[in-house]
Amino acid sequence: MSALTPEQRGDLAERMLPTAAHLAVLVHGDGGPEDVAEVLAGLDDTAKNALIVVLAGLVDPEQPVGKALGWLDFNEHGSLTVPSWSEERSVRDLAPDADEGLGDDFVDQVAVAKFVKGFRVGTLTDAEFLEAVKQCVARGLTLADVDKLRRWPAKTAENWVNRLRKQYQRSGRTFPTLARPGARPFTEGEVVAMRERSRAGATDLELSMSFDCNRETVRAIVTGKRYAQYGGPIRAVRSVKGVQASRTHMCGHGDNSLAARNLKQEKEAA
């Protein structure tokens, strides 16, 4: 199909759609091997290539394998021909990985900052994408949130991350953690030190930078909501004290108002 123009490839693929539908019906039970062979015999190599493309286009790569192939059952020897319905892996997971290496580790921090803030950026390298995802996760975003931030189709970020994770594994490199800061466990010594520094006047921001976590985690630790079993000074939970704001006070009839004083004097005189 490479010798054809894009328009010609599109027209050919469109003409192959009824053939692809016919072949799908035959394979799903309306025919046998002889019927399939008859359909394929009437096609040249170019048409067969187009047919393969159309058939591949009819398959959702994100659906579980059990759903995609679960209509098949057992062969004449009683052996299961495909993964069972309980197979949760997607069709995409069965596709062989392209033998491609990892790119340069250089990261353009300006491009990453624009990515994280949702601005338009050019093509990111794999290293820049990973750094951007790490920063997004540190802000509490999920990979699905990254798709929404960038207006990408669903699971675009997840598929990119999974592809890079496999490349790292094949290269023998450790894939960078994408866990949100604060998710790691803290030792008793770290908890006590954090609480003592908080008592001494360190801000939550300073502590979050020192202990590589977010401010919500610091606040939970120094107030005793997390690691209550460890020692160290516990900071009282800050709260806004409510002010008296009843209808009487809002209308100017509070205890110290002129109307209240006159009413008090009238009662005393009586």
**Is residue 177 in some structural domain?**
no
The dihedral built from the CA positions of residue 249, 254, 257 and 262, taken in this order, carries a sign that is: positive
Question: For the domain that residue 205 is a member of, what is the CATH number?
Answer: 1.10.10
Task: Write out pLDDT tens, residues 95-151.
Answer: 554 444 555 678 899 999 899 888 888 888 999 999 999 888 887 778 888 898 888
Q: How far apart are CA 46 and CA 3, in angstroms?
A: 10
pTM passes above 0.85:
no
pLDDT-derived band at 45, boundaries 50, 70, 90: confident
Q: Are residues 186 and 159 in the same domain?
A: no
Residues 91 and 114 in one domain: no
- Please state which of the ranges 88-92, 112-116, 258-262 shows the lowest mean pLDDT: 88-92
Range of the domain at 45: 1-58
Q: Do 37 and 16 reside in the same domain of the chain?
A: yes
**pLDDT (0 to 100) of residue 118:** 85
Say if residue 6's pLDDT is above 70: yes
Residue 81 included in any domain: yes
Mean pLDDT, all residues of the chain: 76
* pLDDT, average across residues 5-23: 80
SS3 58: coil
Residues 45 and 67 in one domain: no
Give the count of domains, the chain.
4
pLDDT digits (tens, 9 = 90+) for 49-65: 888 888 887 777 776 76
Q: How far apart are CA 171 and CA 101, in angstroms?
A: 8
263 in any annotated domain: no
Residues 248 and 57: their CA atoms lie apart, in Å, by 71
- 73 shares a domain with 53: no
Residue 256: inside a domain:
no
Q: Please check whether residues 39 and 86 belong to one and the same domain.
A: no
Residue 208: inside a domain, yes or no?
yes
What share of the chain in percent tops pLDDT 70?
68
- Residue 250: inside a domain: no
Could you tell me if residue 77 is inside a domain? yes
Whose CA is closest to 11, among 61, 56, 53?
53
